[in-house]
Structure 1
Amino acid sequence: MLAKKNIAIIMGGYSSEYKISLKSGMVVHEYLNSDKFNSYPIHIYKDKWVYVDDNGNEHPVNKHNFSVRTPKTTLFFDCVFNAIHGTPGEDGIMQAYFELLQIPQTSCDYYQAALTFNKRDLLSVLTPYGIKSAVSYYLNHGDTVNEEEIVEKVGLPCFVKANKAGSSFGISKVYKKEELLPAIEKAYAEDDEIIIETFLDGTEVSVGVIKYKGETKVLPITEIVTENDFFDYEAKYEGKSKEITPARITPKQQENVVAVAKRAYDILKMKGFSRSEYIFVGDEPYMLEMNTTPGLTTESILPEQARIAGISLSELFENAISEALNENK
């Protein structure tokens, strides 16, 4: 019998999303096949990196080699399962760290993580490949805010978003010019860069794409129907939305968004999980963003898509580790 592999599940992080990340990480810990893997929850915070054992005891991580000394042994890890939403797990920092240490990890490489975490840069890179996105206006902290110019370019209503933030933190839908400055300040509370986008009026869908058994696989599409004005934090995490899988879209829309999502994943040379958001204008999907460490709780969109595709949580997580360890090639 093969020896069990030691898997570090990193969770937490430095952003507003840390609580959601802790939930995702513990779901991975719960569902990972214990016959094949020893899994260890590793909490990553600005002031400490610790392994939290089943009794709640904390054991510091040695950042020089990402090992953990416990009273009984020193733990080394065969693979890292990345469940951190936001910085430093979704923006390339942890990916680069593990690449330096030559420890396999389940998410994409550091360049892809940094690129996709930056909404403005991601959409700029994909535009020449024919992947559509909303008309946008950029601001950096300290820039003069010309409200007339913004409205002239993107129109009203529009969305004001923090450029590098997830879970809809720092996002506002603006209907009147007078609402722009408060929305910009709200976005600056999350990031020093802002993207302001034209409102696209159409069906919103979420598309999971993963590497599965060595192949790029597009999961069943999810339609987002929110009770709120848009798919904000409340809608995502407090039950103020319906997520309908499979989405109620036409065969043509289905064909188009599957093709675009797969193309974007392959163009970027992605690995691991991704979940992209699109809005249809007619039959054409317009990309909003791509998440590379999407939620992995039992209520999250990507696990539900996988379930409908016939992939259990245990299989989904094991496949991610197999991909990271190159076992599927």
Structure 2
Amino acid sequence: MKKNIAIIMGGYSSEYVISLKTGSVVYEHLDKNLYNVYKVHIFKDKWVCVTENEREFPIDKNDFSVQIDTQKISFDGVFNAIHGSPGEDGYMQGYFALLGMPHTSCGMYQAALTFNKRDLLSTLKPYGIKCATSYYLNAGDTVNAKAIIDKVGLPCFVKANKAGSSFGVSKVHSIEELPKAIAVALHEDDEVIIESFLEGTEVSVGVINYKGETTVLPITEIVSENDFFDYEAKYLGKSQEITPARISVDMEEKVRTVAKHIYEILKLDGFSRSEFIFKDGEPYLLEVNTVPGMTEESILPKQAKVAGISLTELFGNAIELALAKK
């Protein structure tokens, strides 16, 4: 009997548009011979199952089921395609854990930790994971611009602590630019992380559980046409994403080892994509994404393709591993 699979997409953050694209690609490529696949839109004002003719049916949050006309659909598993809150920060993971519902992303704690850049880096530093020098601010804090620049230097990056897709990120070249950059970050989140600028080759490393084994995918080199790998570079074609990356064998081995180590330290499941910049030949961690983009043009699916894994195999593997956990 075919399993009923819900693909959750949308979300509460600025990333909802990208999430809808990811969810639609997953819907298109999941094997319909194996699964009955349903699109589920998760927004603050509604949770609805959307049929192919665009009819909407409300999700019963008591058991995450849906009544479509006279038929009640109970789901066997969930493919999580929500970037940002509440799909990447632990909320949906906690909800599904309470229901005993299998899903394709990592656990509640891991999602919350990786979504919080400050907490993630603080957790990994004792394991020898290198990262940029940083300064923390919360909404309402007094901003001592001189103290910030004295610690992190110029240029520096000002980032919303809990946001993705480069929302709330600015590159600051002078002390005068700092207040505006902080305001931009605070528009996305009430916590800010300010980091020193790392000049070097930027790479993205996908790590997944594939057929029960932790697998590091081919590495992607990021070459942005803009000042950094911002929203335009990520989604509007203002970058080159070169897979496999043009790095030395030694650099490749180092970053593969670190990325896999992070996946195992954090006890991740499902997908992860970690971003690094090489400084003096060593990989410095920027962030870890546990619900990365999954369109045909997204980095991790391109890496999987180079590894000989199709989208149907990539998505189906995630579903099967999730169902096996139950």
Shorter-chain TM-score range: over 0.9
Q: TM-score, normalised by structure 1?
A: 0.98
* Match in the other structure for 2:131: 133
For the residue of structure 1 that corresponds to 2:208, the secondary structure is: strand
1:55 and 2:33 correspond: no
Aligned with residue 225 of structure 1, among 206, 223, 227: 223
Alignment partner, residue 209 of structure 1? 207
Deviations along 1:206-243, whole A, 9 cap, x unmatched?
A: 00000001110000000000000000000000000000
Q: Does 1:166 align with 2:157?
A: no
Question: Quick one: distance in 2 between partners of 1:203 and 1:76?
Answer: 47
Residue 66 (structure 2) pairs with residue 68 (structure 1): yes
Listed one character per residue, the Cα deviations across residues 138-191 of structure 1 (whole Å, up to 9, x for unaligned) are: 000000000000000000000000000000000000000000000000000000
- Contact map agreement 1:220 1:308 (CA 8 A) in 2: yes
Code of the aligned partner of 1:158:
C
Q: CA deviation at 1:72?
A: 3.5
Q: Which runs of 4+ in 1 moved over 4 A?
A: none
- Counterpart of 2:111 in structure 1: which amino acid? A
> Match of 1:170, as an amino acid?
G
What is aligned with 2:322? 324
Q: Distance in 1 between matches of 2:214 and 2:284?
A: 21
Q: 1:4, 1:23 → 2: CA distance?
A: 25
**Partner Cα separation in structure 1 for residue 287 and residue 140 of structure 2:** 25
Aligned length: 326
C-alpha distance in 1 between matches for 2:323 and 2:279 = 40
1:258 counterpart (242, 256, 259): 256
Separation of aligned partners in 2, 1:281 and 1:213: 34
Aligned counterparts of 2:83 and 2:246: Cα–Cα separation in 1:
28
In structure 2, what is the equivalent of residue 143 of structure 1? 141
Contact 1:9/1:39 (8 A) holds in 2:
yes
Partner letter of residue 285 of structure 1? P
CA contact (8 A) 1:256 1:283 kept: no
**Structure 2 counterpart of 1:233, which letter?**
Y
Task: Find the residue that maps to 1:279 and give its secondary structure.
Answer: strand
Give the TM-score normalised by the residue count of structure 2. 0.99
Corresponding residue number in structure 2 for 1:81: 79
Are 1:246 and 2:241 an aligned pair? Answer: no
CA-CA distance at 1:111 after TM superposition: 0.1
Instruction: Give 1:325 shift.
Output: 1.4
The residue type paired with residue 163 of structure 2 is A
SS of the aligned residue for 2:324 comes to coil
1:18 Cα deviation after fit: 0.2
Map of 1:288 onto structure 2: 286
- The answer to whether the aligner puts 1:273 opposite 2:278 as a matched pair is no
Could you tell me which runs of 5 or more consecutive residues in structure 1 were left unpaired when the two chains were aligned. Answer: none
Q: In 2, Cα distance between the equivalents of 1:287 and 1:72?
A: 51
Aligned counterpart, 2:112: 114
* One of 40, 43, 60 as aligned partner of 1:42: 40
Distance between the aligned counterparts of 1:126 and 1:217, measured in 2?
Answer: 20
Superposed displacement of residue 107, structure 1: 0.1
What is the CA deviation profile of residues 231-279 of structure 1, one whole-angstrom value per residue up to 9, with x for unaligned ones? 0000000000000000000101000000000000000000000001000
Which residue identity is paired with 1:22?
Answer: L
In 2: Cα distance, 1:234 partner to 1:312 partner: 27
d(CA) in 2 for partners of 1:235 and 1:110?
30
Q: Residue 179 of structure 1 aligns to which amino acid in structure 2?
A: E
Partner of 2:192: 194
Report the secondary structure of 1:269's partner residue. Answer: coil
- Residue deviations 1:270-310 (CA, integer Å, cap 9, x gap): 00000010000122100000000000011000000000000
Give the secondary structure class of the aligned counterpart of 1:85: coil
Q: Which runs of 5+ in 2 are unaligned?
A: none
Aligned to 1:5: 3
